[in-house]
Structure 1
Amino acid sequence: MSTSVDGPLELFEAAFDVDVTRTAVVVVMMLGLDAVWWVALFDGHVPMPGMAWLMEQGVPAAAPGAMELGVFHVGTLEAVLGYTVMWGVMMWAMMHPAMTRFARDYADAHQGSALEATTALAGFLTTYHLVWALSAVIPLSVHAVLPGGVYGFTRSNPHLVVGGVLVLAGLFQLSAPKRGLLRSCCAAVEDHTDGLLDGFRHGVDHGVECVVICFGLFFLVMPFFGEMNFFWMVVLTAVVTMERIPTWGEEISAATGVVSLVAGVVVLVVRPALPVAFEAVTSM
Structure 2
Amino acid sequence: MTQRHISKIPRRRADSHKRDYGHVLVVAGSMGMTGAAYLSSQAAITSGCGLVTLAIPQSLNVIAEVKLTEVMTLPLPETKDTSLSAKAQKALLGFSLSMNAVALGPGLSRNKETQKLIRVLVQKINKPLVLDADGINAFQGYQQALKGRRFPTVLTPHPGEMSRLIKKDAAYIKKNRINVAKRVSKDYNCVTVLKGHRTVVSSPDGEIYVNETGNSGMSTAGVGDVLTGMLVSFIAQGIDVYSASVVAVYLHGLAGDLAAKELGQFGMIASDLLARIPHVLKDVI
Q: Which structure is higher in RCO with an 8 Å CA cutoff and minimum separation 6?
A: 1
Question: So what's the TM-score if we normalise by structure 1?
Answer: 0.29
What is the TM-score when the length of structure 2 is the normalising length? 0.29
Please state which structure has a larger fraction of its residues in strand.
Answer: 2
